[in-house]
Chains A and B, each alone.
Chain A
Amino acid sequence: MVEFALPKNSKISGGKTWPKPAGATETREFRVYRWNPDDGKNPSVDTYYVDTHDCGPMVLDGLIWIKNHVDPTLTFRRSCREGVCGSCAMNIDGQNTLACTKSMHDVGAGGAVKVNPLPHQPVVKDLVPDLTNFYAQYASIEPWLKTTTPTTAKGMEAEPRGPREARRSLRVHPVRLLLDLVPELLVEQRTLPRPRRLLQATRWVTDSRDEATGERLDNLEDPFRLYRCHTIMNCAKACPKGLNPSEAIAELKFKMVERQI
């Protein structure tokens, strides 16, 4: 059945309040999820105070400040610090978003900034989720060009498209493909096919050079894959990059009907 409660060993209990930074004129309270796989304890929420005059404006700046000045054991992922890589995806004040593009002044209405790891996946430590399943899902859509016609020396050129299509075909560039990994992380997912995976699948289904469109659609047509999406739009709302998986999914569903009716 549906699980409404957390398993016993995931219940949050207690937590430590760290002292306010000495000499700070203005501080901001951070409540951060902590869990250490090595000490055998349940997760807890620690309270920190960040000196806002000594720290950048983003939630990620706050976390880095805590790590540098208060508690070096605090663990989280970050890399680009500009909303490109997706490493810092976490749940801030109930919203899955990127810590590096979320201003701490926009959340918590002046109260505490609540920081939790992304939901629905195992935690490795503190704010770091286990992404094994995420990468496996990405691999399962076979995100590469499939053709049987031999490629000419010139290579294969994509058909010119309208602006939206063009944006999608841009992602053929390998770097862009990596960037594309970003947003999937942010979506609440319980069942197998997460929105971004379907969005990514749409990108390959609509690629004019790909010769495996039918196979790709076959692979998606399943009550628990494509059709587990009920167009709730949470994904479109959560996306910090302004992408819209719901729209891509509607396109896939339309194609399914198109090839049957």
Chain B
Amino acid sequence: MSGPSSMRTPLERVRGLGSAHTGTSDFWRQRLTAVAMTLLIVPVIVVVIMLIGRNHAGAAQILGSIPIAIILLLFIVASTWHMKIGMQVVIEDYIHNEKLKIASVMANNFFCVAVALASIYAILKLSSGV
């Protein structure tokens, strides 16, 4: 309640820059990816258990199966997207410096895309047996 904003009326301070008119799409996508992962979690765990202790060739053989590779790819897309939205919410909650917040949201986006692409690349590489 001090500084340059103190000349503004309380109502003006509460209204701030106005409503962004967004948020529902992220809310919806967070639920969409959550439901997708809930459905995918059982097959994914089965695959992971199958993979325990296999060597490179064994893993490549399992991932060579198209349905298995697709299940894993779907899970990667859903989970990294879910992770991106979730981390952004945490950043918005706890980082109140505008510039630092924008930088963090950017870094979060880069990180999630990088994780997603690296994981997808790894699966494709193993399953195509290159």
Q: Assess A/B contact in the complex (Cβ within 8 A).
A: yes
Residues of chain A having any CB pair with chain B under 8 Å: 1-2, 122, 132-133, 135-137, 139-140, 192, 218-228, 230, 253, 256-257, 260-261
What string of 1s and 0s marks CB contacts (under 8 Å) between B54-90 and chain A?
0000000000000000000000000000000000010
Sampled A-B contacts (17; CB under 8 Å): A1-B94, A133-B10, A133-B13, A133-B14, A136-B9, A139-B14, A140-B11, A192-B14, A221-B22, A221-B24, A222-B19, A223-B26, A223-B92, A224-B92, A227-B23, A256-B27, A257-B27
Q: Which residues of B contact A2 (CB under 8 A)?
A: 94-96
Task: Report chain B residues within 8 Å CB of A136.
Answer: 9-11, 13-14
Q: Which of B19, B26, B92, B94 contacts A219 (CB 8 A)?
A: B19
Give chain B's interface secondary structure class: helix
- Residues on A with beta carbons closer than 8 Å to the beta carbon of B45: none
Q: Which of chain B's residues have a CB closer than 8 A to the CB of A222?
A: 19-23
B82 to chain A, nearest CB (A): 15
Question: What is the size category of the interface that chain B forms with chain A?
Answer: 20 to 34
* A256, B1: Cβ atoms closer than 8 Å: no
CA distance A228 to B19 in the complex (A): 13
Apart from the given pairs A218-B19, A227-B27, 8 other A-B contacts in the complex at a CB distance below 8 Å: A2-B95, A140-B15, A219-B19, A221-B21, A223-B92, A227-B26, A228-B93, A260-B25
Smallest CB-CB separation from B12: which chain A residue?
A136
- State the Cβ distance, B13 to closest chain A Cβ, in Å: 7
Cβ–Cβ < 8 Å partners of B13 in chain A: 133, 136
A257 touches B28 (CB 8 A): yes
- Of all chain B residues, which has the CB nearest A192? B14
Tell me, yes or no, whether B4 is within 8 Å of chain A by CB: no
Known: A122-B1, A223-B22, A260-B28. A230 touches B10 (CB 8 A): no
